[in-house]
Amino acid sequence: MIRKLNIIKFSVTVFAVTLFFACESNFKEIQRINKDEFMASGEADTVNLKYTDSGRIKAILVSPKMIDYATVQYPFTEFPKGILVTLFDQSGKKNYIRSDYAVTFKGTDIIDMQGNVKMTADGGQYLETEQLYYDQKNEWFFTEKPFKFTDPLKGVSTGEGLDFSKDFKRVNYQKVYGLVNEAE
pLDDT tens column, 111-153: 999 999 999 998 889 999 999 999 988 889 999 999 999 888 8
Whether 155 shows a pLDDT value over 90: the answer reads no
∠ CA(160), CA(169), CA(85), 5° rounding?
A: 75
Average pLDDT over residues 41-63: 89
- Alpha carbon 3 to its chain centroid, in Å, reads 69
CB 133 within 8 A of CB 153: no
> Average pLDDT of the chain?
82
Coil vs helix vs strand at 29? helix
- Say whether both 56 and 120 belong to one domain: yes
- Say whether both 78 and 129 belong to one domain: yes
Is the residue at 149 inside a domain?
Answer: yes
* Residue-level length of the chain: 184
Q: Model confidence at 29, in pLDDT bands (50, 70, 90)?
A: low
- The predicted-structure confidence for 58-85, as pLDDT tens digits, reads as follows 899 999 999 999 888 889 999 999 999 9
Domain residue limits at 53: 42-176
pTM listed for this prediction: 0.74
- Say whether both 53 and 28 belong to one domain: no
Whether 31 shows a pLDDT value over 90: the answer reads no
pLDDT score recorded for residue 68: 93
Whether 16 shows a pLDDT value over 60: the answer reads no
- Say whether both 104 and 155 belong to one domain: yes
Q: Model confidence at 18, in pLDDT bands (50, 70, 90)?
A: low
